[in-house]
Amino acid sequence: MPFTPPSTFEEWQTAYTREDAYRDSERRIGRFLVKLIIFLIALLYCIFIGFRHFFDPIEQPSLWWFLGRWTAAAALVLGLLILFFFIIQRWAKQCAWSFFRAFYCPPEGMNVGRMIAERRNGRFRLPPPLNMLSQFQYILVKDGAIVEKEEVKDRWPAWMACNVGGPILLIVFDGNALYLERGNKFSRVVGPGEIAPFLEWFETIKYVVDLRPKVKVGSFDVWTKDGIKIVLTVRVESRIGDPAKRDPEGKLVYPYDPVAVKKAVERIALRWPDPTQEPSEFTWVDAVWGQVTGILPSYIGSRYLDDLLLAERKSGQILSAESLADIFKKLNQATQAFGVFVTDLQIVKVEIPEEIRKFQEEYWKAERESIITLTEGQAKAFEIRAQEKVKAEAQQDLIIAIADGLEKNSDGRFVEPLLLSLSGILDDSLSDPLFRAYIAKETLDTLEKLHRMLEHSVPEENDHGTTDTRSHS
């Protein structure tokens, strides 16, 4: 049964296993062995019958005697044909190897014959302890690349897996994943796990994906709303897959999401800005950086330079935690479309043109001095208000005490200097708007009542030349 890539990502890891590879190998070799056995049996039978009659002395030739002679001749001719076939096969094999080298251009010194034999025949399943001789070839995937062997002639399994196909066992370490194609079309994504994936005959490894976080640091120019160019140095860290997801069994440090790997790899494009140079790949890391260079200029372009650098403006200071969190959120919303998550964003440096920097320093210095002057004035005014408030409160207590004493002296006998002094104090106080603002309403009513009492206490002279301070009331 031909291999069909599964439609659901849950089956990608186990879609093709070692058992499937052994079954396909046995099916391939079995058909060839059946034909070979039938041919050998017929050949041996012809040789046996022919030579038996050829060397058997018969006085009277019969039909069987002639049949034996013809069979022996046929066996001899068949033997010569087999010899000729092996010569032709050897020549055809050399032609096939030459065509393979010219078509695929493998590295010099690679064992092409063994590679073709592995793909043509596969492996037989043998019982222990001979099963060690029937194991499939394997490759190791570690640190975002296929581990290569020292000798070039022994590197053919890795080269075959990337350019021709299986069958090969894939041993994928933690933090790596493989994007497989079949016939230049997506097949599946495999990665680390308890069940090691197997590369099918017509599957090839298109990309080895490193799932560990990637860091990129770069600088680019941006323009503020007031037309000032600044240079930002930004450090961005990203990875494929949601970092919040964890391996349920806790065996993987970098658990992988096959769907996210598929999206990230399919984001890769060919970049060829200069036809005179070699083209380069636009990877998912470059795609994340492209989002950074698009979102940050848009954010800065909507704000003035002072708003970005002065915390007092409260208009989105570029180095504040709130602004970085806002930019971080917008970045993740853009990168999740191709399976990538931004895990860290830092603005390392903000460079301003020298002439703008000097001008801004002088402007900020003058603005700072004006703020200091305004603050000092506000503090002085507050101090004056506090002093007057305390004074008014003290006068309030004093006046309440005086009013209580006046009410107790109902006969209206007061010393004249005291009456005059008290009347002057009340006149001055009641005419002061600040005084009236700081005293309570009931206190103000008491003072007005006291003032009326003093007005009615008019000093009069008697017959003896003395002054009578009795109240008219």
Q: How confident is the model at residue 272 (pLDDT cuts 50, 70, 90)?
A: confident
Strand partners, 146: 141
Report how far Cα 410 is from the mean position of its chain's Cα atoms: 90
pLDDT of res. 469: 44
Identify the weakest region by mean pLDDT among 62-76, 96-110, 204-218, 353-367: 62-76
Of 181-195, 223-237, 265-279, 451-465, where does mean pLDDT reach its minimum?
451-465
pLDDT at 112 over 70: yes
Question: What mean pLDDT do residues 451-471 have?
Answer: 51
**Domain spans, the chain:** 9-210, 214-352, 379-468
CATH class belonging to 214-352: alpha beta
What local confidence, expressed as pLDDT, does residue 369 receive? 72
Out of 3-17, 303-317, 434-448, the most confident range is 3-17
pTM score of the predicted model: 0.67
Structure tokens at 106: 């493998």
Q: With contact defined as beta carbons under 8 Å apart, do 331 and 298 qualify?
A: no
Residue 238 exposed, middle or buried by CB count within 10 Å (0-12, 13-18, 19+) = buried
Listed ranges 193-197, 198-202, 275-279, 356-360; the one with the highest mean pLDDT: 198-202
Place of tokens 């069940």: 195
**448-464 average pLDDT score:** 56
The better pLDDT of the pair 228, 34 is held by 228
Decide which of 323 and 196 is more confident: 196
| Distance separating alpha carbons of residues 118 and 29, to the nearest angstrom | 11
Share of the chain above pLDDT 90, in %: 17
At 1 the pLDDT is 46
Mean pLDDT of 304-321: 64
Residues 320 and 310: their CA atoms lie apart, in Å, by 10
Residues 6+ apart with CB under 8 A from 154: 111
pLDDT of residue 213: 92
- The arithmetic mean of pLDDT across residues 187-214, rounded, is 91
Q: Contact, 158 vs 107, CB < 8 A?
A: no
Higher pLDDT, 435 or 464: 435
The answer on pLDDT for 456 being more than 50 is yes
Closest CA to 267 of 244, 291, 297: 291
Mean pLDDT over 370-399 rounds to 74
pLDDT at 300 over 90: no
The yes-or-no verdict on residue 471 having pLDDT over 50 is no
pLDDT tens digits, residue range 17-60?
888 888 888 887 777 677 677 767 766 666 666 555 555 555 45
Question: 93 or 285, which is more confident?
Answer: 285
Higher pLDDT, 415 or 228: 228
pLDDT at 244 over 60: yes
**Phi, psi (degrees; rounded to nearest 5) at 90:** -65, -40
Q: Is the pLDDT of residue 236 over 90?
A: yes
- Please say if the pLDDT value at position 416 is more than 60: no
What mean pLDDT is reported for the chain? 77
Q: Which pLDDT tens digit goes with each residue over 115-137?
A: 888 888 788 787 777 777 778 88
Phi, psi of 250 (to 5 degrees): 70, 20
Q: Is the pLDDT of residue 164 over 60?
A: yes
* pLDDT given at position 40: 72
pLDDT at residue 10 is higher than 60: yes
Pairing between strand 176-182 and 186-190? antiparallel
pLDDT at 424 over 70: no
What pLDDT does residue 464 have? 46
% of the chain at pLDDT higher than 70: 67
* 97-110 average pLDDT score: 86
Mean pLDDT to the nearest integer, 311-318: 56
Does a cis peptide bond (omega within 30 degrees of 0) precede residue 167? yes
Give residue-wise pLDDT tens across range 275-294: 888 888 888 899 999 999 98
